[in-house]
Structure formats: structure tokens, C-alpha cells
Amino acid sequence: MKIYADENMPYVKDFFADLGEVTLVNGRTLTAAQISEAEVLLVRSVTKVNEQLLSRSPKLMFVGTATIGTDHIDQSYLLHRGIGFSSAPGCNAQSVVEYVLSSIFVLAEKYQWNLRDKTVGVVGVGNIGRLLVKALQALSVRVLCCDPQRAATEADFPHTPYEQLLPQVDLVSFHVPLIKTGANATLNLLNSETLRLLKPDCAVINACRGEVTNNDALLAEAQSGHKRALVLDVWANEPEPDLRLIAHTDIASAHIAGHSIEGKARGTEMLYQALCQQLGLAPRLSLAQVLPAPQISELKINSNFGLLDVQNLSRLLYDVRRDDALFRFYMMQDNKTQGFDWLRKSYPPRREYSSVRLTGQEVPEFLTTLGFNTQIN
């Protein structure tokens, strides 16, 4: 079986080598000619999978994307061809949550916020948003949720309509799929009009899709002299974002919020399991068998472990300012040879909270909610 996989998909050969011959490809520049012999195609969000790409792949029987989002996949075309399809919902949800928490901790320090006095709006409460809400509530932060699709099907979902939520929050974080048309469209969800609904000092975080927040509107607001805290991991026109906007951000990065080792590897594992199911095979490997040992595996804490301690521990494992520094250094060079895609491909290892076991005679329960392994001695 000929398997073609994005070169940035970790452990893909570990998982798939026993199922066939694995060829690694550049997902951004992939062409139909390159995959003419493909029986399995494994991609990430940078690859547009449609009729144009697959027109010369008559043997193709399975397509998988190691991402939560699927807006880059023409699922109708796959269905028409009878090609099996799987995504990886939730694979990097914890990784994105930890990116957002690290960003919030940085903003809180920079602007001297007391987080327990703030209200955070979470727009999109699916795999990622759900975890983020739980994490923020565990930290005693007030949260308002906006998810009209969940509100339509869950009678007890605490939904706040979008335009009612915006004026009430001190920070808004977006975690929606990119939907370009229809009643639940998210394209340009934050635009020049909805920006005016926000409090003047309301912070904005976008770690879902770049086109959800209108970059031109953000730039125009900033150039008018209005300063608001801004965290952007995703951009319109990736991999060539508007460099003028970078100067007006507090944190800027190259679409890497979900790039923890666990987050990326979990996506690979989920596609492996899906292909095994389609082939009628029992999975041979699990994530625990391929992950490397973490540099820090266990810490002993005391029962008075509080919010400031969580912030310090979070920085020990992952500090978003590292990614911001890398992004600004490489993206702002006049003759850059190492840009957006290089930053994603060469992303330094990052472990999730779950890689560390916190032990003690008493371990606060909220640490488990945040994602840490905990053990009472």
C-alpha cells in the first residue's frame, strides 16, 4: 500500500510503516502528479484536498487530516468517489488550551490584571472551547459562552448570543471552525462593526482560523491609535500574513497553538486507528508507545499551590513568549529564507501539562481539571 503523508506529521512512519510504504511530502506545495500512485493520503490543514488534487489518484481509498478543522477538505467529492475519510477531532485541543492559558498569563502580568476580576468570552465551545471553559472556571475566572449550534441542540447550554457577549467581556477568545456561508458563518466574525461592540480595552485572542478575525479591521483599528491587547496565532493569507499587523500584537505566532508533541502525535494516532478500522485490522501501536520521555516528569507540590504558582509552572513547561520571539525575529527579516512554514516545520518540542505528574499529600483538584497528572502520596 502506498501511503503519502505530510512531512510535518510526527511519528507517521512509526504508526503506518507496517501498513505500507510511507512517502513524506510537502503539504503546502503538493500536486496531483506527486500522489498519482497514492492509496492513502494523510494531510494537515495547509493542504487543500479537492478534485483538482485527487484527479490523478485512481487508487486512492482513504484520506485523513490530522486536524480538528476540515474546511480544507472537499468531503462531498470524497463521498462521490467512495474514498474513506477521517479527521482528528480533539487531537490538539489541550495543546491549544495551554497556548491560550499561557497567553492570558502573559497578558495578566503585562497589564497587571487580576484574572478573577475578569470576564472571558469563549466563542465556539466545541472540542477546544469546552476544555478552555473548564480550565478558566477551575481558575475561578468568570466565563461567558457563545455557541449557537450547541444552544440549538442542548437546552441547558449556557449560551450568550455573540453580539450580547462582546460588550460584557474583558477578553474574547475564538475557537470556531471556518464557515464561509450560511446562518452560522464565521468568516470575518470579528470585523469593523463587531470590534466597536467590544470594550475599548477588551483583549482579543484568535487561535482557530485566520479569516475568523478580519485582519484589515484589526490593522485599521490599531493604526487609528486604538490600542488593545491582541494575540494572533492564525492569520489571513497564511503563509504570508500582513506584516504590518505584527507590530500591533502582544503575542504573534505561526499557527502553532496546537503543535505540542502530544497534540500532533495524537492526530497521527487517530488517523492510524481510523485506517486500521477501514482495513479491518487491530491497531498495533498506541501513543504511549511512541512518545519520548519528558524532560520533567514529576514535581512535588504543597496544598497551598495557587494561581501564581500555576502561572509559574505553566511557564516552566511552555512559555508562549518563546514562540512570539521566534515569529518576530524570522518574519520581520527583509530577506527572510526561514518564514512561516519553516517556523511550523522546525517547531521546537513542547510537552503538555499531562506529561508532568504532580504529587503531594494534598493536590488541589483544579490542577487535574487543567490537565495535569496528579497523585496523592
Q: Among residues 228, 255, 266, 350, which one is catalytic? A: 255
Q: Name the catalytic one among 98, 211, 221, 238.
A: 238
Please give the distance of CA 54 from its chain centroid, rounded to a whole number.
27
Q: Output the nine-digit C-alpha cell for 228.
A: 488593545
Query: Is residue 209 annotated as a catalytic residue, yes or no?
Result: yes
Mark whether 238 is an active-site residue: yes
Give the full edge-to-edge strand order of the sheet including 373-376: 298-300, 357-360, 373-376
Evaluate whether 145 touches 97 at the Cβ level (below 8 Å).
Answer: no
- Candidates 130, 159, 175, 209; catalytic one: 209
Record the cell numbers describing residue 51, joined without a space: 478534485
259 catalytic residue (yes or no): no
Q: Which residues are known to be catalytic?
A: 209, 238, 255
